[in-house]
Amino acid sequence: MKRGRIAFNGAIHEVRPAGQEGLLRLADGRVLREDEALWLPPVQPGTIFALGLNYADHARELAFKAPEQPLVFLKGPNALVGHRALTPRPAEAEYMHYECELAVVIGRQARNVARGQAYDYVAGYTVANDYAIRDYLENYYRPNLRVKNRDACTPLGPWLVDAADVADPMNLALRTLVNGRQTQAGNTRDMVFDIPWLIEYLSGIMTLSPGDIILTGTPEGLVNVQAGDEVVTEIEGIGRLVNTLIEDNAN
């Protein structure tokens, strides 16, 4: 099952696909065009974990070796926005790029989970576009606040797809299109640290809770994007997330 969240007529609603591209259905049966509503992230976020250099080809793209230990950092909920949202691009930035990522949503409390049981703790999956502003990067291993925690820098959605409906999350095609042109393509099978490994690792450090989100990294194919660009990040069977960049003159 796919489900999303929108704000419409002063209330927050859970919605599902209406069976036709571009349409969604409210719980009361009403059908809307997807551009008639304000899309929210499909889950209320808890702790947001993000992975750096978790695809070997992306590490090579940046002239790094694949990491021997996961490079994990945390993101604040202010960074998340929904489908069709606007993301500000700092006017002074020289290089800002998208990152198409499979997002794993935790479904129940998890502590010291064994790898073999890891999928039992997953509620579902969604699409993330975790923008980075390369100008502000001081260390690839520890992205600072200005790189990864700016307001609206991480679109998420549009749908949360139940874990039971994803036969193999470690074999999904990913791609990014900028203004209709494909610029990035990859597959989740190329992660350095796969989903069960990450859940075992993270739950061995701290308790994971329902609504926690793991952003699992991005493959190679990053391109500098500009204000006015439409960026579409897609993951096979999970969804198509649309975002538009606007100019932000604030520092």
Contact 166, 125 (CB under 8 A): yes
Closest of 4, 1, 52, 2 to residue 156, by C-alpha: 4
Per-residue confidence (pLDDT) for residue 68, from 0 to 100: 79
Per-residue confidence (pLDDT) for residue 64, from 0 to 100: 64
Output the CA–CA distances (angstroms, integers) from residue 71 to 13, 172, 202, in the order listed. 36, 22, 11
pLDDT tens column, 124-156? 999 999 999 888 776 655 666 777 889 999 999
71 compared with 102, residue with greater pLDDT:
102
Domains and CATH numbers, the chain: 1-40 (2.30.30.370), 41-248 (3.90.850.10)
Cα–Cα distance between 110 and 235 in angstroms, integer? 26
Indicate the pLDDT class of residue 52, thresholds 50, 70 and 90: confident
